[in-house]
Amino acid sequence: MSVPMAARPLPEGASARVSARVSGCPADRLSYPAPRMDAADTPNPPPNVPVELPAAARAPYERGLALFREGRIGPAVEAFSAALRAAPRSAEVHAARGQARLVGGQVDDAIADLSRAAGLAPERTDVRLQLGVALGNAGRVDEALAALDGVLAGAPRHAEALLARAVVLEKAGRYDDGYEALSAALDEGASGYPAAFALALLGPRKGKGAEAVERIERTLAEGTLPPGQAESLHFEAGRILDRLERFDEAFAHYEAGNRLHPGAFDLDAFGAHVDRIIATFSRETLDRLPRARHVSEVPVLVVGMPRSGTTLTEQILAAHPRVHGAGESPALQKIVNLIPAMTGKAAPWPECAARLGQGGMDTLAGRYLSEIRRPAPDAARVTDKMPQNFLSLGLVALLFPNARVIHCVRDPVDTALSCYFQAFTRGHGYAFDLRVLGAYYRHYRRLMDHWSAVLDISLMETRYEDMVADQEAVSRRLVDFVGLPWDEACLRFFESDRLAHTASYDQVRRPIYRRSVGRWRHYASHLGPLLSALGDLAPEGLT
């Protein structure tokens, strides 16, 4: 069975694992099997130049195809856009640009292109299938199912559409319906990576975890998968085996998946970057710089390492009727990216922040507030849970003196191991090597210690283990910290219709459970490099 173009593995440099980011935020789990992609994994590009394409559009379209094959997604989008200026009603070119945008993480723009292509060529089943996948990746479940059901209405035994439908239903928590669609796809001969991935998601819910692992291992043993797909399946096998308490086998799969991930994280450069942030945002500089004149209390930043409880914390707060959860919003990073140009390009980030004047502070604060409030303008509080915003808290203190920051902390070894067990795709290059993970964690703690010492904004630290031990007590503290009256809905966060578009999306559908506390002990014999790198942050007596 072939995989629809939008669901094939994605280029690493193009923000792999195309996924749903609500409020513009990227997710780490997919609504369809589409893992990280290397050059060797490049999906089949859009079909050859269509005969009806005008001559003026042919060259940029061909250039777009070539760039797409090379994984150069931004230039490919530009080339397809040039082709569309010459052929604005070409369904083929709209579909090609939509596919490239989907691979590049521009999900809303991809949906617009694919919708246009589907309107221009309603007979194109492949385009409607891609549209369904894109809508699922955006968390627009009802629309995704409508698009996929449209495909299945004309072809009820379409295995690819059945698989796509199964995974969208799993994302929505409709497990029985998802498994029914998966079973139908398997009956139609679905095989290879897509079938193994979908069974990994849904099989364990039907007591078929061991069967899912067997299918994964058979698929891997064929030796025909590109690296990105093999990596994805190793992580899925590890997840299932961990649930089955076959811990050594689980670690072997996780280790194999991590080894397949390309590239190396520049730990020295990251450490130097943290040094520069600390030097730039010293107590003396912070005292000297002006604060934005915005007095808004709307922003609530939830920061910490990934897998430290940030999603759970946001989900509890977002259950409050006066809170909107913005997810992993890119809004703050967009602001950071503007500052070098605003300050005359005399210095890079972070040093350029020290050159901001009152007007610049006010402008940046207004832009950030406008973006995070757009989906819910009447919300009293908006949470932004991009974990790596911890790098920019000095700027937050300047832009929003009345903002609140919640720092989520979890046992360092559990945190790092959970990162190692997660198939991150972008922004987390440190997570694929245990030694690097430990060293990265030490830099993160070093910076958070600095912020605690020099910032004068409200900052609350919460421990994941405390949340697990007494959810109500910690939840009440959180709601009180953000300045709102208590609401019982915060205890029933798992009943919310809100989808969490992160690696923790499934966990926050359930009441809090204790299984993740002390999880590292099952894997202690494998963790020497991590424990050594953590040094005195590791449990006493283990290093």
ω into 350 cis (within 30 of 0): yes
Burial of 297 (0-12, 13-18, 19+ CB in 10 A): middle
Calpha distance 112→102 (Å, rounded): 11
Calpha distance 279→526 (Å, rounded): 37
HSE of 479 in the Cβ direction (CA atoms, 13 Å)? 23
Measured in whole angstroms, how far is the alpha carbon of residue 269 from the centre of its chain?
A: 23
Does the CA dihedral 510-513-515-517 come out positive or negative? Answer: positive
Cβ neighbours around 109 below 10 Å, total: 17
- Here the tokens at position 439 are 């060293």
Taking a C-beta distance cutoff of 8 angstroms, is the pair 406, 302 a contact? yes
Taking a C-beta distance cutoff of 8 angstroms, is the pair 400, 457 a contact? yes
Domain 267-537 grouped into CATH 3.40.50.300 = yes
- Here the tokens at position 396 are 């937050």
Q: Closest Cα to residue 259, out of 432, 96, 115? A: 432
Taking a C-beta distance cutoff of 8 angstroms, is the pair 345, 404 a contact? no
Q: State the residue for tokens 């058979």.
A: 218
- Here the tokens at position 419 are 């990162």
- Where does the chain hold its CATH 3.40.50.300 domain(s)? 267-537
Calpha distance 253→142 (Å, rounded): 34
Q: Closest Cα to residue 61, out of 71, 75, 44, 49? A: 49
Alpha helix segments (H runs only) across 104-158: 107-120, 125-137, 141-154
Calpha distance 375→372 (Å, rounded): 7
Task: Tally the residues of the chain.
Answer: 543
Calpha distance 420→417 (Å, rounded): 5
HSE of 420 in the Cβ direction (CA atoms, 13 Å)? 29
Give buried/exposed letters for 495-531 (b at 16+ CB in 10 A, else e).
Answer: ebebbbbbbbbebbbeebeeebbebbeebeebbeebb
Measured in whole angstroms, how far is the alpha carbon of residue 252 from the centre of its chain?
A: 24
Q: State the residue for tokens 């900052």.
A: 459
- Which residues does the chain have with pLDDT short of 50? 1-44, 498, 500-509
The reported pLDDT for the residue numbered 13 is 30
SS3 of 301-341: the string is EEEECCCCCHHHHHHHHHCCCCEEECCCCCHHHHHHHHHHH
> Position 52: which residue type?
E
CATH no. of 5-196? 1.25.40.10
Specify the 3-state DSSP secondary structure of 346.
Answer: coil
Calpha distance 156→183 (Å, rounded): 13
Q: What is the strand order of the sheet 299-304 is part of?
A: 323-325, 381-384, 299-304, 404-409, 458-463
> Position 532: which residue type?
S
> Position 225: which residue type?
L
Calpha distance 472→462 (Å, rounded): 13
Residue ranges of E strands in 356-448: 381-384, 404-409
pTM: 0.83
- Here the tokens at position 377 are 């303008």
Q: Closest Cα to residue 274, out of 393, 127, 421, 194? A: 393
Calpha distance 135→125 (Å, rounded): 15
Does the CA dihedral 406-410-415-418 come out positive or negative? Answer: negative
Cβ neighbours around 304 below 10 Å, total: 25
| Residue 304 φ/ψ region, left for φ over 0, alpha for ψ in the -120 to 50 degree band, beta for the rest | left
Q: How far is CA 542 from CA 153, 411, 440, in A?
A: 59, 14, 19
Q: Closest Cα to residue 405, out of 362, 350, 462? A: 462
Calpha distance 83→50 (Å, rounded): 12
Calpha distance 184→156 (Å, rounded): 10
Helix (H) or strand (E) holding 372: helix 358-373
At 284-336, the pLDDT tens digits run 999 999 999 988 999 999 999 999 999 999 999 999 999 999 999 999 999 99
